[in-house]
Each structure stands twice: as C-alpha cells, then as structure tokens.
Amino acid sequence: MPNKKIFILLPDGIGLRNFAYTDFHDIGIRNGFDSVYWNGTPFELSTIGFEEIKIENAKPHPLTTLYKNARQQIELNLNSKKTKDQTYNSYRFIQNTTGIKNKLKNVFINTVIAFHSSEKGLISVRKKIVQKEQKTLFYHECLRTLQKEKPDLVFCTNQRHTVSIAPILAAKALGIPTVAFIFSWDNLPKATLVIETDYYCVWSEYMKKELLFYYPYIKEAQVFITGSPQFEAHFNQEKKLSKEVFFENNNLDLNKKYICYSGDDVTTCPDDQRYLEDVAAAVAELNKKGYNLGVIFRRCPVDFSKRYDTVLEKYSEIIVALAPLWENKGTNWGAILPTIKDIELQINTIAHTEMVVNLGSSMVFDFATNSKPCGFINYDVPDKVKKDWFVDKIYKFIHFRSMPHKESVFWLNSADEIAFKIEKVLNGEHKLIATKAQEWFEIINQHPANEASKRVWQAINAICNK
C-alpha cells in the first residue's frame, strides 16, 4: 500500500517552528506518510531536505480581509453578549483612519458589523468570505495544484491567516479532508479562527472546550487533542549544550548566575524597556549584597526597535543581549522567520538560566519544561509611553483564567520588590512555584509534552482512515 500524501500548508513562519524544525516530518515518515510542504513562506524548505511546493501569487479577494475583520468584531460582540463579559472588547483592533482609502474600508467594515451582529448575520458573513475567495485566481490555482498532486489530506499549521482560506476551500471542493492546528494558547477567545476545516487539532482539553464554546457549529468528533510541538525541543538532549560551551559561545561569565528577561512586542508592552531597567537595577542591588548575578535579555523576535539601547548601555556590566536568531525576509510580520539555530539558542538560554521575568508571556511554560520559575511583571511605571495602557488589562485576558493557582508564578507588584522576590526564589522558593507552573502547563498543553507531533500524526492517520 503506498504511503499517504499529506500536504502541510505553511502560511507563515510559526508553522516552520512547529512542523519543520521539530521531529514532526521524521515521525510522519516512520508512520508511513509522505509530507509535502505547501509553502507560503520565503524559507526554502528544500535546503533542509523537505519536499515542497511553493505558493505563488497568494492573493485573496480584495473584500475578504474586510469581511474577515468584520467577522472578528461580530464574533467578539456575540461572545461578549453571550457571556456578559466586557473583556472581549479588549481584543478589538484599532482601525487605521489615515487616508481616504482606509476610511472607506472602515465604512465598509462598520456597515457589515452594524447589519450582521447576530448569529444569522455571522453565518451570512462567513458565506460571503467563501463566495469571494472562490472567485479568485488564487483559488483556481490551488484547485489545479491539488488536482495534480492528489494529496490525501491538507493540514494547515495556523488558523489565523486569510491566505489559507483559498487552499482550504479548494481542498474541500475536491473532497480532500482538511485539518487546522490552533497555534497559540490565547487565540480562541480573540476570535481568530479564520479558516473552517473538517477537523481541528488543539493543545488540550481546555482548548477543546473553548473551541466548542466559541464555535458551536463545530462538533466534538471534529476535534483532536494533540498538544503543541513548540515545546518538544526542550526535551531533546542532543540540542542542549554544556554550560561551559554555552557560556563560552555567548561571552557569559561562568561565575555568574543569570536571570532571563523575555521581552514583549511594543504593542503588548510599550514600556518593556523600563521593566528591563527595573530588573537590572534589582540585580545590581543584589550584587551589592554579595550575589553574582547577570541578566540575559531575549527580546521579542519581531521587535527590531532601538528602545532598549539606553538601558543596555547603562547596565552593560549586568545585561547580556542574546537576540533571537530570526531572519527578516520582508516588510511584514509574517516574513520574519524563526530559524533552527534560534530554537537551539532558546532552549539553551532556558537550560542555563535560573528563572525568567516577563509580562504575561507563554515563556512561563517553556521554563516549566525545565522546572524553573517565572516572574510576571504586575505594575505600571510612572510616565508611561501610552497613558491608556495598563498592566492590569493584560492579566484580565481570558486565557489567564486557565491559571489554577496564583502561585503558578511569582508576582512582581512594584519595582521595589523585584530584588526581594528574586532573592527568595534563589534561596529555594522556586520549587513550589515551578510545581504550580507545571500544573498550569498540564492544563494548557496535553502531556507528555514531548509527544505532540506523534499525537498530530495519530490524528491525521485516524482522519485518513475514516
């Protein structure tokens, strides 16, 4: 019996990290599948020995993005009404009002929202998206590709991208089963389900319940719990360097213990550089007490700003910046691509630091894989860059309600208590925090965490055999 041919649809670089840079491909081969990457990224997968078909001229219908944006707002309206929870309003995008073109787009979107903010109206908008995409040249190119290649299944690595709609619709039209992977732990409350597939892979039972709640037209039999492959590299001992080699490669001091500061993007945390400065000042205070500490700063991979430069210069004796090894292949966010080398840098940074400090990042789970604690920034700085931005708003997001214990992290409620909290963690309190963090991780992501790729292939196999 010939191997099943599986198309792995890659609309962006996040899919590379999860499904090209892990053992996902090799596990598929061992289980009798041939993977063909339907590649919409600038990365040449052929350079690492993978079969690929490049997606060229991926151009959605001009109205699709507008309908998609309207759909998201309608879903947020309905979710807020259904739950009587105003938190959903915090996920709304700010409309661009610059220029007549953007203003006309806003009029269109707002009109669609005004006349379709009901369950029936939402169905109508979803149908409009399908109708528009089926008229595009891209859709017909996707049909031709699928008719020629005859895959047994199309697996989309990200549910959020408009460019994925046409390939999925083409597969459905040809009777080819389709699957979408929900790529992040916070995506579903934000109404980011853009593509509608026959089946879905989710991280956990918790996420499955979210998917069924927000999208009642999806049935339980369509959902497979797999976990996310993004954590698998932490369990690969072959990728881990000795402390001596890692420190030498990155000009780190073997006599120091390091704290990782994980940066956020400028939208999520406009004052991130101020928090980094507060952590560095706390470390300087601890070093005066006899500690020998440093800070490894890992900025957000899509933040190329110079906003940290002053702090890095001021605390050059304390902070070592290890920039993510991502490649910028274009002008938009989706063209900033992770690399295999960055995965190795990240897992070794975590392996050789004592803890991480950040603002509500999923790095708490990456450190949990190493039984190490995370500190969440939980205060506003004076003279904020954005007067209407508040830390409190971040922790009210729906996905933080999955935290089973407040002690899953250590909370940094002011700049003055950072040194005290770090010292407590260094002196043994981290064990309880790490244990609670692990409990949270097991709620968020199916365990064993190192078998997510295996479970995805089991789901694909089950679907192919239906």
Picking from 10-19, 63-72, 352-361, which range would have the lowest pLDDT averaged per residue?
10-19
Residue 333 has pLDDT above 60, yes or no: no
Cβ proximity of 36 and 65 under 8 Å: no
Instruction: Give the angle subtended at the CA of 268 by the CAs of 41 and 286, to the nearest 5°.
Output: 115
Could you tell me which CATH number the domain at 236-444 has?
Answer: 3.40.50.2000
Residue 331 has pLDDT above 60, yes or no: no
Provide the 8-state DSSP code for 371. Answer: T
CA 82 remoteness from chain centre: 26
> Structure tokens of 141?
């190119």
Predicted confidence at residue 2, as pLDDT, reads: 81
CA 124 remoteness from chain centre: 29
Predicted confidence at residue 57, as pLDDT, reads: 86
Predicted confidence at residue 12, as pLDDT, reads: 87
> Structure tokens of 75?
């879903």
Residues forming a β-bridge with 9: 38, 156
- What is the chain's Cα-based Rg? 23
Average confidence (pLDDT) over 341-362:
97
Cβ proximity of 408 and 430 under 8 Å: no
- When pLDDT is cut at 50, 70 and 90, the band that residue 335 belongs to is low
Q: How far apart are CA 207 and CA 214, in angstroms?
A: 11
Average confidence (pLDDT) over 246-268:
96
Task: Give the CA count within 13 Å in the CB-facing half-sphere of 53.
Answer: 19
| Residue 340 neighbours by CB under 8 Å, 6+ apart | 21, 48
Amino acid at 231: F
Helical ranges in 185-339 per DSSP H = 205-214, 243-249, 272-288, 309-314
In degrees and rounded to multiples of 5, residue 428 shows phi and psi of 120, -15
- For residue range 193-240, what is the model confidence (pLDDT) as tens digits? 999 999 999 999 999 999 999 999 999 999 999 999 999 999 999 999
- For residue range 379-396, what is the model confidence (pLDDT) as tens digits? 999 999 999 899 999 999
| Residue 19 neighbours by CB under 8 Å, 6+ apart | 8, 10, 25, 157, 181, 229, 453
Predicted confidence at residue 13, as pLDDT, reads: 84
Q: How far is CA 303 from CA 174, 175, 366, in A?
A: 41, 41, 20
Residue 150 has pLDDT above 70, yes or no: yes
The verdict on pTM exceeding 0.85 is: yes
Query: Which DSSP string corresponds to 430-454?
Result: HHHHHHHHHHHHHHHS-SSGGGHHH
Which part of the chain has CATH 3.40.50.2000? 4-60+136-228+449-464, 236-444
Picking from 161-175, 219-233, 341-355, 380-394, which range would have the lowest pLDDT averaged per residue?
380-394
- Check whether the bond before 448 is cis (ω within 30° of 0): yes
Sheet holding 223-225, edge to edge: 52-54, 33-39, 4-10, 153-156, 178-181, 199-202, 223-225
CA dihedral 116, 119, 122, 126 (to 10 degrees): -150
Residue 330 has pLDDT above 80, yes or no: no
- For residue range 52-82, what is the model confidence (pLDDT) as tens digits? 999 988 999 999 999 999 999 999 999 999 9
Predicted confidence at residue 466, as pLDDT, reads: 87
Residue with tokens 């928090």, as numbered in its chain: 275
Predicted confidence at residue 221, as pLDDT, reads: 98
- For residue range 400-454, what is the model confidence (pLDDT) as tens digits? 999 999 999 999 999 999 999 999 999 987 788 989 999 999 999 999 999 999 9
CA neighbor of 389 nearest in space, from 246, 230, 267: 267
Task: Give the CA count within 13 Å in the CB-facing half-sphere of 45.
Answer: 25
Number of Cβ atoms within 10 Å of the Cβ of 64? 23
Q: How far apart are CA 276 and CA 224, in angstroms?
A: 39
Average confidence (pLDDT) over 329-356:
86
Cβ proximity of 363 and 296 under 8 Å: no
Cβ proximity of 153 and 129 under 8 Å: no
| Residue 299 neighbours by CB under 8 Å, 6+ apart | 263, 308, 321, 323, 324
Q: How far apart are CA 184 and CA 158, in angstroms?
A: 9
Predicted confidence at residue 328, as pLDDT, reads: 79
Instruction: Give the angle subtended at the CA of 109 by the CAs of 105 and 113, to the nearest 5°.
Output: 170
| Residue 117 neighbours by CB under 8 Å, 6+ apart | 74, 77, 78
Number of Cβ atoms within 10 Å of the Cβ of 150? 10
Could you tell me which CATH number the domain at 4-60+136-228+449-464 has?
Answer: 3.40.50.2000
Cβ proximity of 271 and 384 under 8 Å: yes
Predicted confidence at residue 334, as pLDDT, reads: 58
Average confidence (pLDDT) over 181-195:
97
Q: How far apart are CA 377 and CA 404, in angstroms?
A: 18
* Average predicted confidence (pLDDT) for the chain: 95
